[in-house]
Amino acid sequence: MKTHRIAIAGHDDARCVADCLQGFAEWLGSSLPFDGLFRDVARLIDDPDTEFFVAYDASRRCAGMLQQRYRFSVWVSAYEANIEDLFVQSWARGKGLGRALVEYALTRAVERGCRRSVLDVTETNVVPLAMYERMGFICPRQRPAPGRQLLYVKPLP
């Protein structure tokens, strides 16, 4: 039985997206600047290369969200979808909602002409890591040579 409704987020869903992003940041042991969060979410909702997918339960409680970005990649000579963030509220976990959000995102990526979907996940986050692998995602550089692929970030002025 389907217990959640998933849809592409509009401005009416900005609170759900912001709450999930804040929840994700807290789960990571971080925080987001709450004063600018709604502005930033609204900007991304308006960005044609970004989509948020939101999930609500039957009583319209925000249960989770996924952010996906689209870009052209020289590595596949086509568009690819980047699953940037996936978050499911703690009370909604264990019911297949994360998988349903990813499946929805993959369907949207195909509809938009993407040839590949990419994501990154912390290797200690074993539940989603196992889910991604069951869904057919592979980690092509997990072997010792050429070494573990690392993500580096440098803040710019």
Domain extent at residue 126: 4-134
Do the domain assignments include residue 55? yes
CATH number of the domain to which 98 belongs: 3.40.630.30
Do the domain assignments include residue 103? yes
Nearest Cα to Cα of residue 42 among 72, 70, 16: 16
Do the domain assignments include residue 124? yes
- Given a contact cutoff of 8 angstroms between Cβ atoms, the answer to whether 21 and 34 are in contact is no
Do the domain assignments include residue 107? yes
pLDDT in tens, the chain (157 residues): 468 899 999 999 999 999 999 999 998 888 887 778 989 999 999 999 999 999 999 999 999 999 999 999 998 899 999 999 999 999 999 999 999 999 999 999 999 999 999 998 887 888 988 999 899 988 876 555 455 555 555 564 7
How many distinct structural domains can be found in the chain?
A: 1
The pair of three-digit structure tokens given for residue 69, joined into one six-digit string: 């970005």
Per DSSP, helices labelled H in 30-96 are: 34-46
Coil/strand/helix, residue 11: helix
d(CA 105, CA 9): 12
Do the domain assignments include residue 22? yes
Nearest Cα to Cα of residue 69 among 36, 112, 19, 98: 112
Do the domain assignments include residue 115? yes
Do the domain assignments include residue 139? no
